[in-house]
Structure 1
């Protein structure tokens, strides 16, 4: 992993406004950002234009590389699914206008989980990718942000069935840790589907008793072999961004610049050393 691949997800400091957050990310050393669309839309709702929003990022030397907000509705009534498709398509358009080419999504679930239910998820993902194909934004399924798609294996199965070049998977080290996913599942056959990566560490507690979000700790403060995981991803072909995503009350209580600095510095030991 190289320093230029480092990215910060705005959930790390999500309770601050967009301008303050971007100042903090740039000051910390980040050059790439994964802003949650709620933060962007709140800024736009204050009367700012998309052009002004792009300039806000650019003036701080920051590039938007991915974003997220909604689940994809794969079950339920046709009317609800069509409404959800339109809302997600609007998000794809906004993400493209911001200069990014990745949208991270979760999914809803059926009344009863089954392997066959993955077909409905795949159809919904294919429809969204096809509906927005001209925008050039990849749709990455985040496994474990779903009552059905709970592992890397099930997410890969969905991507395979969807059979669209813009449908892939989001790999998150926290979800990897607390789900049945194993390091052996991260191989050449699966990594080709991975569109984006979230990085975080986890405490020394049983994985099945560890919360996928609330228990995250900064890289280097937990027990995950992040160096080994990153190396496995890269050896099998991943060359995209690595975005730190934290849901830490401790970080949220810090001044924004201090929280962002800690996030950035926690990632540096994982980067390749020049020379």
Structure 2
């Protein structure tokens, strides 16, 4: 049995046993940033046809400022980063500028893959949709100044998809796509396995029906599985225009229908069939970024931020490399 396998089994036991500390009682020594030596990843990444990136949800518990996030993610060897708009706004509110963040990204060699934001652009309430346009206009301007080109657009404001309203949803999506034309920032309609828009087919229908050439879909390994979707037909999509896919894994237990965001695990530590899925995405034209997105309390309680980054990169590199060589 390999050292990697032993480590994975030990971690699963720890996560499942409930012996880890609660969030409220977490020792300050875990939160504290430690100096770590990361592997020299800049060379080995070049043999992959994809970027390995990080969604900073993975670091959310450590309460790092956005400039710290950028520097640490770059140091860990990632190609790109997905930042949260609320972290960016906190930085700006303290006197920072979007141009400073752009320079920091460029200096550290990180591609700004996408921004995570939340607006009720698809609400059934017209006033909420109008408010979303105001919000997105502001956010897209900031993203553009940072050198970004995409913002996530999960369906907010509705609790379920009404099949009779596909045309209306498409019009709402087209509205924010047109808003993005003036800023160069494209909203990517996002699949949520537990949300209203939990079917890949529904995402595709709304995106196609929008009739807009910039329509894009944001997939996620966990959310595809959690929503009861199949990867067998994912190659129907044009992978070449998908800029980023969220990278994570999911355990065999609890059952799919009972899974929550916090149940996501590091790539390779669950049951996701990467050896089947990643080559299929490659054949469908995908060459974008696999961006690690986790919300696992057990990891936060047992690892400092640097270790979390190291594990995220190494696990992702391994599963992607193994899948492309399978």
- Find the counterpart in structure 1 of residue 213 from structure 2: 165
Map of 2:57 onto structure 1:
11
Where in structure 1 do 4 or more consecutive aligned residues deviate above 6 Å? none
Residues 193 and 159 of structure 1, relative CA distance in 2, 3 Å threshold:
farther
Aligned pairs (5 A) from 1:85-164: 85-110=133-158, 113-144=161-192, 147-164=195-212
Distance change >3 Å, CA 35–CA 263, structure 1 → 2: same
Name the CA distance, whole Å, in 2 between partners of 1:49 and 1:194. Answer: 29
- Helix, strand or coil for the counterpart of 1:221? coil
Q: Secondary structure at the match of 2:163?
A: coil
Aligned with residue 66 of structure 1, among 109, 114, 127 = 114
Contact 1:72 1:124 in 2 (8 A): no
Whether the 8 Å contact between 1:110 and 1:117 is mirrored in structure 2 is no
The structure with the larger Rg is 2
- What TM-score does the superposition give when structure 2 sets the normalisation length? 0.77
Q: Select the residue among 235, 245, 267 that pairs with 1:219.
A: 267
Describe how 1:184-263 pairs up with structure 2 within 5 A: 184-189=232-237, 191=239, 194-205=242-253, 206-211=255-260, 213-253=261-301, 254-263=303-312
RMSD: 2.3
Q: Is the 8 A contact 1:74 1:120 kept in 2?
A: no
Residue segments in structure 1 that go unaligned for 5+ positions in a row: none
What is the deviation of 1:250? 2.8
Specify whether residues 240 and 4 from structure 1 end up closer, same or farther in structure 2 by C-alpha distance, changes over 3 A only: closer
Matching of residue 54 in structure 1 with residue 102 in structure 2: yes
Task: Tell me if the contact between 1:197 and 1:243 (Cα under 8 Å) persists in the aligned partners.
Answer: yes
> Could you tell me how far apart the structure 2 residues matched to 1:44 and 1:261 are?
28
Equivalenced residues, count: 274
Residue 227 (structure 2) pairs with residue 182 (structure 1): no
Structure 2 stretches of 5 or more lacking a match?
Answer: 1-46
Q: Secondary structure at the match of 1:64?
A: strand
Q: Which has the higher helix share?
A: 2
